[in-house]
Amino acid sequence: MQLLGGRLDTVMNQAIIALLGAAIGSASAIAGSVITNIVAIRNENSRQKESRHAAYVAALRKEAATAFSEIYAEFSAIEQICWFAKNIPVEVNSDMVRRYYAAIEATDPRMMAALATVAGLNVPLHDELRPISRALQRLDDEVGEALRMLPTDRDLAISSLAACHANLVELDELIPKKIAEVMRTAERSIEGQ
C-alpha cells in the first residue's frame, strides 16, 4: 500500500466515504418513504373516518326525518277526526271512521319502524322521540274508545273526540319544540362520535 505512495489509502477512504454516503442516502430515502407512507395511511384513515361519520350523519338525519314525517302523518289522522267532532260533528260518520282506522293502520307501523331504525342508529335520539309517539298512541287509544261508543252513544262519543282535540292542540305546540330538542340531541351525539 505504501508502494503507491498512499494513493491506495486515499482511494479506499474515498470509496468507503462514498459507500457510507450511499448507505446514509439509502437509509434516509427508506426512512422518508416510511414516514411518507405512515402519514398517507393516517390521512387515508382520517378520510375514511370522516366519510363514515358523514354517512352516519346522513343516515341519522334521514331516519329522524322519516320518523318526524310518520309522527305528523299519525298526528294528522287523529287531528282530522277530532277536529270534525269539535267543529262539524255531523260529518263524523262510518266512512270517516273507516278512513281514520285505515290511516292509523298505515302510519302506525311505519312510525314504529322509523323509531326502531332511529334507535338502531342513536338511542338518545330515539329516547327523545319516544314521548311524542307515546302521546300519539294514548290519543289514538282515546279516539278508539270514543269511536267504539259512536253507535250506542253518539253525543258522548262526539264530546270525547272533541275533548281529544284540546290534547292535540297541546301536542301540536309540543312537537316543534321536541323536534328542536331531538335535533340538538342528535347534533350532540354526532359530535361525540
Return phi, psi of residue 161, to 5°: -65, -40
pLDDT attached to residue 63 = 87
Domain boundaries, the chain: 59-192
Among the CATH numbers 1.20.120, 3.30.1380, 2.60.40, 1.20.1420, which is that of 59-192? 1.20.1420
Residues of the chain below pLDDT 50? 1
Residues 11-33 have pLDDT tens digits of: 667 777 777 777 787 878 787 78
pLDDT attached to residue 1 = 46
Instruction: Give the C-alpha separation, 80 to 92, whole Å.
Output: 10
Cite the DSSP H helix spans in 88-153. Answer: 94-121, 123-149
Q: Are 91 and 81 in contact (CB under 8 A)?
A: no
pLDDT attached to residue 53 = 80
- N- to C-terminal Cα distance for the chain? 72
pLDDT attached to residue 157 = 96
Cell digits for 19? 459507500
pLDDT attached to residue 50 = 82
